[in-house]
Amino acid sequence: MSGTTGPEGRGVIVTGAGSGIGRATALRFASLGDKVLVADINATGAEAVVKEIEANGGTARAVIGDLSDQHIVDEVVTTAVESFGDLAVLVNNAGIMDTMTATADVSDAEWERVIRINLTAPFLLTRAALPHLLARGNGAIVNTASAAALRGSAAGTAYTVSKHGIVGLTKSTAVMYRDRGIRVNAIAPGGTQTAITDSITYDGDGAATIGRYRANVGRMGAAEEAAAAIVFLASDAASNINGVVLPVDNGWSAV
Protein backbone atom coordinates (compact mmCIF):
# COMPACT_ATOMS: atom_id res chain seq x y z
CA MET A 1 0.00 0.00 0.00
CA SER A 2 1.34 3.41 -0.85
CA GLY A 3 -0.23 5.08 2.19
CA THR A 4 -0.78 8.51 0.70
CA THR A 5 -4.23 9.02 2.16
CA GLY A 6 -6.42 8.94 5.22
CA PRO A 7 -6.71 10.36 7.61
CA GLU A 8 -6.41 13.21 5.16
CA GLY A 9 -4.32 16.27 5.82
CA ARG A 10 -1.71 15.61 3.16
CA GLY A 11 0.23 18.39 1.49
CA VAL A 12 -0.95 18.58 -2.12
CA ILE A 13 0.21 20.72 -5.05
CA VAL A 14 -2.31 21.37 -7.83
CA THR A 15 -1.06 23.35 -10.82
CA GLY A 16 -3.45 25.38 -12.92
CA ALA A 17 -5.70 25.39 -9.86
CA GLY A 18 -7.01 28.90 -10.50
CA SER A 19 -9.53 27.68 -13.06
CA GLY A 20 -11.38 24.72 -14.56
CA ILE A 21 -10.22 21.18 -13.79
CA GLY A 22 -7.44 22.36 -11.45
CA ARG A 23 -9.83 24.53 -9.44
CA ALA A 24 -12.31 21.65 -9.06
CA THR A 25 -9.44 19.34 -8.04
CA ALA A 26 -8.12 21.77 -5.42
CA LEU A 27 -11.60 22.17 -3.91
CA ARG A 28 -12.11 18.40 -3.84
CA PHE A 29 -8.78 17.69 -2.10
CA ALA A 30 -9.53 20.46 0.41
CA SER A 31 -12.99 19.03 1.10
CA LEU A 32 -11.21 15.81 2.19
CA GLY A 33 -9.01 17.75 4.60
CA ASP A 34 -5.89 17.96 2.44
CA LYS A 35 -3.81 21.15 2.41
CA VAL A 36 -3.58 22.57 -1.08
CA LEU A 37 -0.91 24.63 -2.79
CA VAL A 38 -2.73 26.45 -5.58
CA ALA A 39 -0.20 27.18 -8.34
CA ASP A 40 -1.24 29.32 -11.29
CA ILE A 41 -0.07 32.17 -13.47
CA ASN A 42 -3.44 33.85 -12.98
CA ALA A 43 -3.34 35.61 -9.59
CA THR A 44 -7.04 36.50 -9.52
CA GLY A 45 -8.16 32.93 -10.11
CA ALA A 46 -5.64 31.38 -7.73
CA GLU A 47 -6.37 33.78 -4.89
CA ALA A 48 -10.13 33.27 -5.29
CA VAL A 49 -9.66 29.50 -4.94
CA VAL A 50 -7.53 29.93 -1.81
CA LYS A 51 -10.23 32.19 -0.31
CA GLU A 52 -12.94 29.66 -1.18
CA ILE A 53 -11.01 26.81 0.49
CA GLU A 54 -10.34 28.93 3.59
CA ALA A 55 -13.97 30.04 3.77
CA ASN A 56 -14.90 26.36 3.96
CA GLY A 57 -12.47 25.81 6.85
CA GLY A 58 -9.64 24.35 4.78
CA THR A 59 -5.96 25.20 4.37
CA ALA A 60 -4.51 26.56 1.13
CA ARG A 61 -1.70 28.75 -0.16
CA ALA A 62 -1.19 30.32 -3.56
CA VAL A 63 2.01 30.66 -5.58
CA ILE A 64 1.63 32.84 -8.64
CA GLY A 65 3.84 32.51 -11.68
CA ASP A 66 4.78 30.75 -14.89
CA LEU A 67 5.42 27.09 -14.08
CA SER A 68 7.81 26.74 -17.00
CA ASP A 69 10.20 28.95 -14.98
CA GLN A 70 12.47 26.87 -12.71
CA HIS A 71 12.39 29.58 -10.01
CA ILE A 72 8.60 29.42 -9.79
CA VAL A 73 8.73 25.61 -9.70
CA ASP A 74 11.19 25.77 -6.79
CA GLU A 75 8.97 28.31 -5.00
CA VAL A 76 5.92 26.08 -5.44
CA VAL A 77 7.60 23.02 -3.94
CA THR A 78 9.37 24.92 -1.15
CA THR A 79 6.19 26.77 -0.17
CA ALA A 80 4.20 23.53 0.02
CA VAL A 81 6.84 21.78 2.13
CA GLU A 82 7.38 24.77 4.45
CA SER A 83 3.70 25.74 4.82
CA PHE A 84 2.24 22.26 5.23
CA GLY A 85 5.21 20.33 6.59
CA ASP A 86 4.36 17.65 4.05
CA LEU A 87 4.27 16.98 0.34
CA ALA A 88 2.42 13.80 -0.60
CA VAL A 89 0.71 14.58 -3.91
CA LEU A 90 1.65 16.53 -7.04
CA VAL A 91 -1.02 17.20 -9.67
CA ASN A 92 0.49 18.49 -12.92
CA ASN A 93 -2.62 20.00 -14.46
CA ALA A 94 -1.79 23.47 -15.80
CA GLY A 95 -1.85 23.62 -19.57
CA ILE A 96 -2.63 25.65 -22.62
CA MET A 97 -4.29 24.81 -25.92
CA ASP A 98 -2.70 25.35 -29.31
CA THR A 99 -4.59 26.82 -32.25
CA MET A 100 -5.40 23.40 -33.77
CA THR A 101 -2.52 24.09 -36.17
CA ALA A 102 -1.45 21.33 -38.55
CA THR A 103 2.25 20.38 -38.68
CA ALA A 104 3.40 22.44 -41.69
CA ASP A 105 1.88 25.60 -40.22
CA VAL A 106 3.13 25.36 -36.62
CA SER A 107 5.30 28.39 -35.84
CA ASP A 108 8.45 28.08 -33.73
CA ALA A 109 6.78 30.30 -31.14
CA GLU A 110 3.67 28.11 -30.83
CA TRP A 111 5.73 24.90 -30.68
CA GLU A 112 8.07 26.22 -27.99
CA ARG A 113 5.34 27.77 -25.86
CA VAL A 114 3.05 24.73 -25.90
CA ILE A 115 5.83 22.19 -25.28
CA ARG A 116 7.36 24.33 -22.53
CA ILE A 117 4.13 24.85 -20.59
CA ASN A 118 2.43 21.49 -21.24
CA LEU A 119 5.45 19.17 -21.07
CA THR A 120 8.60 20.83 -19.70
CA ALA A 121 6.79 22.42 -16.72
CA PRO A 122 5.37 19.05 -15.52
CA PHE A 123 8.85 17.54 -15.86
CA LEU A 124 10.39 20.39 -13.83
CA LEU A 125 7.74 20.00 -11.13
CA THR A 126 8.08 16.23 -11.02
CA ARG A 127 11.85 16.50 -10.70
CA ALA A 128 11.54 19.05 -7.90
CA ALA A 129 8.83 17.17 -5.99
CA LEU A 130 10.26 13.65 -6.17
CA PRO A 131 12.95 14.05 -3.47
CA HIS A 132 10.22 15.08 -1.01
CA LEU A 133 7.91 12.21 -1.96
CA LEU A 134 10.81 9.77 -1.71
CA ALA A 135 11.83 11.15 1.68
CA ARG A 136 8.24 10.65 2.84
CA GLY A 137 8.37 7.01 1.71
CA ASN A 138 5.29 7.29 -0.48
CA GLY A 139 3.48 9.69 -2.73
CA ALA A 140 1.33 10.09 -5.79
CA ILE A 141 1.68 12.15 -8.94
CA VAL A 142 -1.28 12.67 -11.25
CA ASN A 143 -0.83 14.34 -14.63
CA THR A 144 -3.61 15.85 -16.70
CA ALA A 145 -3.04 14.52 -20.20
CA SER A 146 -5.85 14.71 -22.75
CA ALA A 147 -7.77 12.81 -25.38
CA ALA A 148 -5.02 14.34 -27.53
CA ALA A 149 -2.56 12.07 -25.68
CA LEU A 150 -4.32 9.05 -27.20
CA ARG A 151 -5.22 10.19 -30.71
CA GLY A 152 -4.23 12.59 -33.49
CA SER A 153 -7.56 14.25 -34.08
CA ALA A 154 -8.24 16.10 -30.83
CA ALA A 155 -5.97 19.15 -31.23
CA GLY A 156 -3.17 20.63 -33.32
CA THR A 157 0.28 19.09 -33.63
CA ALA A 158 2.02 20.97 -30.81
CA TYR A 159 -0.67 20.19 -28.21
CA THR A 160 -0.96 16.57 -29.37
CA VAL A 161 2.80 16.05 -29.08
CA SER A 162 2.92 17.73 -25.67
CA LYS A 163 0.18 15.46 -24.32
CA HIS A 164 1.71 12.30 -25.81
CA GLY A 165 4.89 13.42 -24.02
CA ILE A 166 2.99 13.57 -20.73
CA VAL A 167 2.15 9.90 -21.19
CA GLY A 168 5.87 9.14 -21.52
CA LEU A 169 6.64 11.19 -18.41
CA THR A 170 3.89 9.34 -16.54
CA LYS A 171 4.97 5.82 -17.55
CA SER A 172 8.71 6.35 -17.24
CA THR A 173 8.45 7.91 -13.79
CA ALA A 174 5.96 5.24 -12.66
CA VAL A 175 8.33 2.44 -13.60
CA MET A 176 11.47 4.10 -12.26
CA TYR A 177 10.02 4.72 -8.78
CA ARG A 178 7.42 1.99 -8.30
CA ASP A 179 9.61 0.08 -5.83
CA ARG A 180 10.01 3.18 -3.70
CA GLY A 181 6.36 3.93 -2.89
CA ILE A 182 5.65 6.40 -5.67
CA ARG A 183 2.69 6.05 -8.05
CA VAL A 184 2.37 8.15 -11.20
CA ASN A 185 -0.81 8.16 -13.28
CA ALA A 186 -2.57 10.41 -15.76
CA ILE A 187 -6.09 11.27 -16.75
CA ALA A 188 -7.06 11.88 -20.36
CA PRO A 189 -10.08 14.18 -20.31
CA GLY A 190 -12.24 14.47 -23.38
CA GLY A 191 -13.99 17.76 -24.10
CA THR A 192 -14.53 19.41 -20.73
CA GLN A 193 -16.33 22.70 -20.20
CA THR A 194 -13.66 25.13 -18.96
CA ALA A 195 -11.99 28.39 -20.00
CA ILE A 196 -9.71 26.40 -22.34
CA THR A 197 -12.58 25.06 -24.44
CA ASP A 198 -14.15 28.52 -24.53
CA SER A 199 -10.89 29.94 -25.93
CA ILE A 200 -10.17 27.45 -28.74
CA THR A 201 -9.42 28.98 -32.12
CA TYR A 202 -8.63 27.17 -35.32
CA ASP A 203 -5.88 27.86 -37.87
CA GLY A 204 -5.54 26.69 -41.45
CA ASP A 205 -5.64 22.93 -41.91
CA GLY A 206 -6.76 22.56 -38.32
CA ALA A 207 -10.26 23.28 -39.54
CA ALA A 208 -10.39 19.63 -40.64
CA THR A 209 -9.50 18.64 -37.10
CA ILE A 210 -12.41 20.44 -35.53
CA GLY A 211 -14.82 18.53 -37.77
CA ARG A 212 -13.63 15.23 -36.34
CA TYR A 213 -13.47 16.64 -32.80
CA ARG A 214 -17.05 17.89 -32.85
CA ALA A 215 -18.29 14.67 -34.46
CA ASN A 216 -16.72 12.34 -31.91
CA VAL A 217 -16.41 14.19 -28.64
CA GLY A 218 -19.94 13.46 -27.41
CA ARG A 219 -21.20 15.45 -24.46
CA MET A 220 -18.86 17.91 -22.77
CA GLY A 221 -17.64 16.76 -19.39
CA ALA A 222 -17.70 18.85 -16.22
CA ALA A 223 -14.48 19.91 -14.51
CA GLU A 224 -15.69 18.10 -11.37
CA GLU A 225 -15.79 14.78 -13.27
CA ALA A 226 -12.12 15.10 -14.20
CA ALA A 227 -11.29 16.24 -10.65
CA ALA A 228 -12.96 13.15 -9.16
CA ALA A 229 -10.70 10.91 -11.26
CA ILE A 230 -7.56 12.84 -10.25
CA VAL A 231 -8.41 12.65 -6.54
CA PHE A 232 -9.15 8.92 -6.88
CA LEU A 233 -5.80 8.23 -8.57
CA ALA A 234 -4.05 10.13 -5.75
CA SER A 235 -5.84 8.08 -3.06
CA ASP A 236 -5.10 4.71 -1.46
CA ALA A 237 -8.16 3.36 -3.27
CA ALA A 238 -5.82 3.39 -6.30
CA SER A 239 -2.91 1.79 -4.42
CA ASN A 240 -2.23 -0.84 -7.12
CA ILE A 241 -2.80 1.51 -10.07
CA ASN A 242 0.46 2.85 -11.47
CA GLY A 243 1.47 4.16 -14.90
CA VAL A 244 -2.03 4.26 -16.38
CA VAL A 245 -3.70 6.89 -18.54
CA LEU A 246 -7.36 6.96 -17.55
CA PRO A 247 -9.76 8.43 -20.12
CA VAL A 248 -12.46 10.65 -18.59
CA ASP A 249 -14.34 11.24 -21.79
CA ASN A 250 -17.80 9.65 -21.88
CA GLY A 251 -16.42 6.93 -24.16
CA TRP A 252 -14.72 9.13 -26.76
CA SER A 253 -11.61 6.90 -26.61
CA ALA A 254 -13.84 3.94 -27.42
CA VAL A 255 -15.19 5.52 -30.61
Ligand X SMILES: NC(=O)c1ccc[n+]([C@@H]2O[C@H](COP(=O)([O-])OP(=O)(O)OC[C@H]3O[C@@H](n4cnc5c(N)ncnc54)[C@H](O)[C@@H]3O)[C@@H](O)[C@H]2O)c1
Give 45 or 58: the residue with its C-beta nearer to ligand X.
Answer: 45
Residues 141-160 that bind ligand X (CB under 6 A): 144, 146-147
- Residue 78 interacts with ligand X (CB under 6 A): yes or no: no
- Residue 110 interacts with ligand X (CB under 6 A): yes or no: no
Q: Which of 117, 140, 182, 227 touches ligand X (CB under 6 A)?
A: 117
Site pattern 10..39 for ligand X (x: CB under 6 A): ------x-xxxxx-----------------
- Residue 68 interacts with ligand X (CB under 6 A): yes or no: yes
- Residue 5 interacts with ligand X (CB under 6 A): yes or no: no
Give 138 or 160: the residue with its C-beta nearer to ligand X.
Answer: 160
Question: In the bound complex, what is the minimum distance in angstroms from residue 104's beta carbon to ligand X?
Answer: 23
Helix orientation angle between 121-136 and 70-84, rounded to the nearest 10 degrees:
30
159 is catalytic: yes
- Residue 125 interacts with ligand X (CB under 6 A): yes or no: no
Catalytic residue among 159, 177, 202, 213: 159
Q: Which of 13, 14, 28, 45 touches ligand X (CB under 6 A)?
A: 45
Q: Which of 8, 52, 78, 96 touches ligand X (CB under 6 A)?
A: 96
Give 195 or 210: the residue with its C-beta nearer to ligand X.
Answer: 195
Residues 163-222 that bind ligand X (CB under 6 A): 189, 191-192, 194-197
CB neighbourhood size of 135 (10 A): 10
DSSP codes joined into one string, the chain:
-----SS---EEEEETTTSHHHHHHHHHHHHTT-EEEEEES-HHHHHHHHHHHHHTT--EEEEES-TTSHHHHHHHHHHHHHHHS---EEEE----------GGG--HHHHHHHHIIIIIHHHHHHHHHHHHHHHHT-EEEEEE--GGGT-SSSS-HHHHHHHHHHHHHHHHHHHHHGGGTEEEEEEEE-SB-SHHHHH----TTHHHHHHHHHHH--SPBPHHHHHHHHHHHTSGGGTT--S-EEEESTTGGG-
Nearest to 184 by CA among 171, 165, 197, 203: 171
Give 239 or 250: the residue with its C-beta nearer to ligand X.
Answer: 250
Residues with active-site annotation: 159
Q: Which residues bind ligand X (CB under 6 A)?
A: 16, 18-22, 40-42, 45, 66-68, 93-96, 117, 144, 146-147, 189, 191-192, 194-197, 223
